[in-house]
Amino acid sequence: MKVNFTTPHGETVEAEAAAGDILLGVAQAAGMPLEGTCEGQMACSTCHVIVAKEWFEKLAEASEEEEDMLDLAAGACRTSRLSCQIVLTEDLDGLTVTIPHEAHDMRRG
Ligand code: FES
């Protein structure tokens, strides 16, 4: 199955993934600038991605903890999710997410 990432610069990167993969890991393997500092503990929000609207509804709902963390994520919007909480399934073949600009802000200082 495939997952599409849109970089903060607007490029599209297609990545190969398998059911059961965590979206964060697939993104990192594809070279996306997601830190994922807490490795899926829902304690950092550096794995924040914006899910394409048509895909957002297809994902399992975010837990309350995830929602709380998203409230703190820079540039979060209605279809934001933590990529460390998204487990890929065959239904999600073609999933498209955008890596937010804010992922770069730290480097700019
Ligand atoms: Fe920290 Fe996802 S890796 S919240």
| pLDDT exceeds cutoff 90 at 104 | no
Angle at 68 between CA 79 and CA 98, to 5 degrees: 30
Residue 74's pLDDT is 85
pTM of the model: 0.91
pLDDT in tens, 38-78: 999 999 999 999 999 999 999 999 999 999 999 989 889 99
Share of the chain above pLDDT 90, in %: 87
Average pLDDT, the chain: 92
Ligand 1: which residues within 6 Å by Cβ? 24, 36-47, 69, 82, 84
Q: Which fold has domain 2-102?
A: Ubiquitin-like (UB roll) (3.10.20)
Among protein residues, the one with the nearest Cα to ligand 1's atom 4 is: 42
Q: How far is the CA of 76 from the centre of ligand 1 (A)?
A: 14
Token pair in block for residue 8: 């903060």
- The atom number, within ligand 1, closest to the CA of 46 reads 1
Percent of the chain that is helix, strand, coil (3-state, to 5): 30, 20, 50
